[in-house]
Structure 1
Amino acid sequence: MGPKAALPLLALLSVIGAEAMTHSPPAELNAEKITSSELPDTGQPARAGMLKRVALVRHGETAWNQLGLLQGRVDLPLNETGRAQAARAAVSLSASSWDEIVCSPLERAQQTAQSIQASVGHVSMSLDARLTEKSFGVAEGMGRHAAFEQWPDGCFDGGESEEAVSGRVQSLVADLMQMNTTSVIVVCHVVIIRHLAMQIARVDPGFVENGSVLTLVRKDDAQTWKPHFEGR
């Protein structure tokens, strides 16, 4: 399934969040520029310690992922499949050196990050609440089809707006760009990964499966980023 770039951003990200259990990632990334003035300018002159690689990792599968339920802020552990997905992501990432891991505080993300940390070596891991998945409000725990029949626009009662998600991710991106390190692994959730990829690299990665690794590499010009799905 390819990226849904034709949809408005709000509807697009809501649909992606709802479809997080069933679809494979697209064969290619949509590298169209995001023109919104709200996106931060991450292009900087080259400097020592500049961040050059960012790996965006979606947590492994949980029981609710398997059942097709909207999860959001509900804090569930990985199931057996999810632990295996985390282990595969860890093996993939261990082929390169990494400086730090930053992780969502939700258990499914922490378990995924811990598996990665054990594989990539002695790197520090920190938690950042800005990486927490979008809240789906009263729709959390509902089947995705039932939820979107009731709220076709994805604006669930009591849920977090896309503007709020974008704001906290923008704050996080600004901090990442100021890190005195060259590589970081970010372990989080599908909606957050979409925002991160668009704000850092101006690309639409489409849907990312549980356990997927999307690496963003800063090009030599220090102004642009190249996306790459591990294993492709």
Structure 2
Amino acid sequence: MQRHFFVVIIMLLIIACQPTITQKQDVSETTKRNVIIDNMLTRRAIRKYTDQQVSKEQLDTILKCAIYAPSALNRQPWQVRVIQNKKLLDEINQRFLNFAEGKEFQGSASRYREPGFSIFHNSPSLIVIARDVNIGTSTLDCGIILQNILLSAHGIGLGTCPIGSLVPVLNLPENKDILEQLDIPEGYEVAINVSLGYADEKPVTKKRFENRVKIIE
């Protein structure tokens, strides 16, 4: 009789603990979702970087997130290169300055005449994303992989900034040697570039146009 009593007590304790375990699991899942959403809402474009270089481990994380981006028919029509070679970065920046001479630009590129200007904001790493020109969806697909790079970098404490002004420069026939140094295959062209490094600024949030989003019920 006494043994039966203890068995009943143990069963009741197990049952009583079940809601607590479920609740902890629910809280954990909620926390994960909140972290993901917070990452999207707090990321900003960084245009000032420290000299500290991005580590191999950090790059591995970012690039793994990058190649897990979805693409139409899973064709993955991209080539991704990370440049950390200072000499090559300086050469790319000089190619932009040569191209920019006498031209007018918007945004940060408009300051190219200033001493020490860097089209990629002197970031210690530059990511080049090239697209397969024979696949119609490659531009969109590269936009998706770009977002994975931006968010994963922010998630591990790094800053990024998409660099569009450099795209036409790298695609010029006279700069084909740069793409050859990056081992980008024939049939690909640069779609977008990304500065990458440790942020040396904290940009404020800019206004979002919520009226451009509507729900049709």
Normalised by the length of structure 1, the TM-score is: 0.24
The structure whose Rg is larger is: 2
Greater share of helix residues, 1 or 2? Answer: 2
Query: Which structure is richer in relative contact order (CA contacts within 8 A, separation 6 or more)?
Result: 1
